[in-house]
Structure 1
């Protein structure tokens, strides 16, 4: 019923250089699959959801886990804190931020929740949280929880944007929301926005929104879940109030690891981790802390140990950054390849389907490693079929990528990665075309 998947064959650099669509790099494409541990019958076109780690780094992960098992107290109490600091320093350098402004958490959702739950909301009940309608669902629910549990002290305001649109339109929508908040007798306290949104997968003008927040006196919280390892991040230049980014997605760190940035000017606001643990400093006085290795910074020390967790992924950050440089040529080369592949691969899929890629006239929305391609289905045809289609991807075609509706159209989101090339995207286009034909035949109604 479905198309057969071509089992990847590891090639030499010379063999790989003859493949079409690999750009001018011999490092990437099918050859790079040897570093990852995918099932040979599975084609991963959805790196943007859960990421993937390399075989080499997973070996390092197990080394740290083995050290913890061999001598738990020695490693967890005395050795891991120093290794953790080395990794904080490595990722801080990568995002161009002072080391003492950077800590590690499990994922971007945890980071967003940590910031929102630490903020104090004014008793005059005027504070508002601004967010865009394309916010990641879990973070949107985090805002809902703050509103629902805030005893009417805080409300939220959605900023609606419909893609495609230009960057200035997005910034204008933010400014209009601040004005609307004020007209309603409210106060915009903080705005949550993405580096690259999830669905649709669009690069947002987060630098311009951050600047607009400063002008408006609104705190900026950047959700960079799709960020580090996929786009260049320079926090010293952008200077947001808060920033979080997953490292287990595009950077290849093992799951689960994210970097949380809080500049010195705001660290006093972040009193507790989630959950509260030994680093919390209570107003009533200090309690016994059984952990001997404390950091000089109260903020960093707060996040050093949050209960008993397997934090070995945190300890792989430095190793991963070094591996990316040694094996793949470093961040600039990786990003050049995956950005180009997303653009060219998206065009190939659109050509197969007879549709188009989601982008604006200036091309800024697509400056990332994710692409959205329109499906040749009407919203009415797809309303009952999208869930069936994604299930069939896994069952019949050994692949997966999200399908979704936006602005009156149905779309597929595909991820570009170093272990893929344009042939993979063309294959995905034919898979989608076959699924669309199956929907038009009504197969989804028979299950």
Structure 2
């Protein structure tokens, strides 16, 4: 695996950053030249933190340079125009009206923004539904809502044990809604993924949204693994709230996410997170001076236009990232087809090397995404003790990282497909994982935690040895 750097200097105009050629390049090794990975590092975990092409990161630096050169002129008067261009670009990609989307730092902020703006009823009957495969930070957010609501809201978990067919997931959702009603609860909102994190599988989020709509439940979709990875059509989907990271599969620099709130629900979102100048208090006597120039936007849009002094340069790169994907890689359909095909075929290759299997259902609906989950050939005791050692050893000995997790009594590896990878990378991953499992079988991981503590705790000055 190699790495190449682009030699062109950063251009002065938005369009030139994409290069002169409108012909899409090949994927795999040839696409790798657009990213700045260390030559020794093999990035098999795009799903966690994403990666941005060097051309877009140069654009990011240009925006940061403008902010440093003339802070007031850029932040107050120029940045809002670039921000609106980004909002328009991502709205078009998602097939949503521009005035329904704003940009926030990440999907967790988007989920927090929605849940913290909902007013819970005083009768303590409100309930939040969520699936057991929820992203950890979002699960903790629900815990906080329950803990801080003074018993006004509770939560109900829907247990999922994969592999499951979509109909089984839907049946579990219907059972939870019915159980909530029988418990004299009122399901206010259901939080669910497009593609969950661990295990990384596609949920039937379209059908879940329909059921929520039929039942009068607010649908909050955590699409952290969404835009740029799978097709999203918000007009057809019509959720109550949707958030998706742009810094993952869309190649926008970290950190940037899109938050969608249809017009019918914008009155619910009265404040950004944190509250800033765009907030409109209920009391006329509480109106305060807003030092930022008026943008003649709706209250919802203006709320998120300026949320304190943050480096929002990544937000301004959304339009460039979308256009780069079209000009250089051939556009969304081609990117999605390549990454999903590579994940599917690559997962089979890794499973073949390991002598195990891929986590999927008979209809293969779970794997219609750009990630794959492959079981590791470890005994139960090994699977319980070895994951942390294996993941740290991947970094130190193999210059890569693959998340490991337990599900349905087995240890799994989640591998991300990307345009800069090809089937040879998956073959390498399979051999690497097999070698790690063999090392575990020889007991190399035993005593690692103690040695790990011996190495780091004295440095941290926490305890003497």
With the length of structure 2 as denominator, give the TM-score of the two structures.
Answer: 0.91
| 1:268-312 residue CA offsets vs partner (Å, 9 max, x unmatched) | 000011100000000123200000132321100000000000000
Report matched runs for 1:75-224 at 5 Å. Answer: 75-224=74-223
2:25 & 2:426 partners in 1: Cα distance?
A: 19
Report matched runs for 1:214-363 at 5 Å. Answer: 214-285=213-284, 286-363=287-364
Task: Tell me if structure 1 keeps the 8 A contact 2:189–2:218.
Answer: yes
Task: Tell me if structure 2 keeps the 8 A contact 1:77–1:293.
Answer: no
1:68 & 1:9 partners in 2: Cα distance?
A: 29
1:222 & 1:356 partners in 2: Cα distance?
A: 29
Shift of 1:39: 0.4
1:295 & 1:220 partners in 2: Cα distance?
A: 29
Shift of 1:65: 0.6
Q: Secondary structure at the match of 1:399?
A: coil
1:247 & 1:9 partners in 2: Cα distance?
A: 24
Shift of 1:82: 1.1
Cα 1:229/1:435, change in 2 over 3 Å: same
1:108 & 1:295 partners in 2: Cα distance?
A: 27
Task: Tell me if structure 1 keeps the 8 A contact 2:272–2:304.
Answer: yes
Report matched runs for 1:410-429 at 5 Å. Answer: 410-429=411-430
| Number of corresponding residues | 428
1:185 & 1:232 partners in 2: Cα distance?
A: 38
Shift of 1:381: 1.4
Cα 1:93/1:358, change in 2 over 3 Å: same
2:385 & 2:212 partners in 1: Cα distance?
A: 40
The 4+ residue runs of structure 1 with deviation greater than 6 A are none
1:365 & 1:305 partners in 2: Cα distance?
A: 39
Q: Could you list the runs of 5+ residues in structure 2 that have no partner in the other structure?
A: 6-23, 449-465
RMSD of equivalent CA atoms: 1.1
Task: Tell me if structure 2 keeps the 8 A contact 1:130–1:188.
Answer: yes
| 1:305-330 residue CA offsets vs partner (Å, 9 max, x unmatched) | 00000000000000110000000000
Task: Tell me if structure 2 keeps the 8 A contact 1:379–1:405.
Answer: no
Q: Secondary structure at the match of 2:385?
A: coil
Task: Tell me if structure 1 keeps the 8 A contact 2:252–2:317.
Answer: yes
1:158 & 1:398 partners in 2: Cα distance?
A: 37
Shift of 1:213: 0.4
1:317 & 1:210 partners in 2: Cα distance?
A: 27
Task: Tell me if structure 2 keeps the 8 A contact 1:194–1:223.
Answer: yes
2:36 & 2:398 partners in 1: Cα distance?
A: 19
Task: Tell me if structure 2 keeps the 8 A contact 1:219–1:241.
Answer: yes
1:177 & 1:304 partners in 2: Cα distance?
A: 38
Residue of structure 1 equivalent to 2:375:
374
1:162 & 1:217 partners in 2: Cα distance?
A: 27
Residue of structure 1 equivalent to 2:52:
53
Task: Tell me if structure 2 keeps the 8 A contact 1:78–1:293.
Answer: no
Q: Could you list the runs of 5+ residues in structure 1 that have no partner in the other structure?
A: 1-5, 11-24
Task: Tell me if structure 2 keeps the 8 A contact 1:57–1:319.
Answer: yes
Q: Secondary structure at the match of 1:312?
A: coil
Shift of 1:26: 6.1
Shift of 1:8: 4.9
Q: Secondary structure at the match of 1:318?
A: helix
